[in-house]
A and B are shown apart, each in its own frame.
Chain A
Amino acid sequence: MTTPMDVHLFVPCYLDQVHPEVAMATVTVLRRAGCTVHYSDQQTCCGQPMANTGCADDAAVLARRHLDLFAGKTTVCPSGSCTSMVSHHYHDLGMRLSATDEKTMHRTFELSDFLVNVLGVTDLKARFPHKVSLHQSCHGLRELGLGVMSERRDPPKLGPAETLLANVDGLTLVVPERRDECCGFGGTFAVAEADLSARMGHDRCDQLSQGDAEYMTGNDQSCLMHLDGIRKRRGKGPKAIHLAEILACQ
């Protein structure tokens, strides 16, 4: 942390418009970790909704914009699935990727991964005196490898989110039963297969309520938005709060 690091913020489109507080908290956390934060309002969307619907050409248009805008920069994003879209799935779209593009993809990090594994920061002097259950979002976990996947028999290690939460003053971390079960969001799946998605969300809410958790957190607001929507409709369960928001609290 001795040399300040320039980071470029990649704010997912829905976060920008619907959950600005998560992006704001991300700025706070990065600055506290000693970074100089840059943001370009020319950014819009990484193309994930199109890509996951199979519309690769439409996704490629946005992917091109994204890669040109962030060309060669160290980019940080408070969402595992949007990060994974850029770092892992731009290969799938049939676009020509230059060496700079590959570098940009390679230099795109999810927030907790960046803090712990790039900066080496594990304690953000945050205080959040609550019981919190952690929802490991699928793409952050299984595509970016931000934690131990319950299906695999890899050597045990602590994921960056767990590492950061362990150092939050007053926080009690609750590990839910089925610790990395999907919440059922799945992008357009949440709308196209609404009943299935909602049932999965209900079940996940139940799991995340265990141990009297007051909050459920994670590194993907899309999952949290879905879970919180269900939680509010049914009127019980822990409130959703993004990891960045917890880390920003003092």
Chain B
Amino acid sequence: MVDGAALAAFSMRFQRPVGSVLKAHPGVYVGPELPASWEVFATSLKSVGGILMNAQPSQAQAIQAIIDMGRAPGRVVASASAAPLLTGVSGWETARATTTPQEWEDVDLAIIRAESACAENAALLVTSSSLPERALAFLAQRILVLVPRNRLIGGFMAAQAELAQRLAGGEALHHATWMSGPSKTADIEQTLVIGAHGVCALAVMPI
């Protein structure tokens, strides 16, 4: 625990003088309502280097095609929350609960389930509740994110407000990440390179 006296001394340095007029919080910002449209999502996703996949001709066949696209002999690992969605698909394993996440180092394709998606910026939400196997989503070379079709939110203000309530409201979330496209960098001469440290490719499939 932080020592009370140390905290008091630290805080004193940032105390406005008695009698200062202090600025109130401006209130919750809602912003304009943006359409919860998969078309808008697709445009945003494309702009950040991701690919939107349709569950056609069937969900299982579409996922199978993505798995088979991989350069063998990579491992395909599905998060525990995604596994139930993979009936009828072959060539994958379920992520075991582990204390040494390094073991996913050689994963070629990770299949995970996002809790929601945001059209404004193509961000996909994964948290410790849907993805306790957090490292899997970053160590894999490629990632397929399955997201419930009815969990698309238009604007990011609304999307983040929902998460904010969960974080403040007592849900024991350890981590929550908005992922928008595959990892990328432009640190060498401003040239965009997809695939920095995280995944080199990201596909999204509404389910």
Q: Report A-B touching, CB under 8 Å.
A: no
- Interface residues in chain B, defined as those with a beta carbon under 8 Å from any beta carbon in chain A: none
A residues apposed to B, CB below 8 Å = none
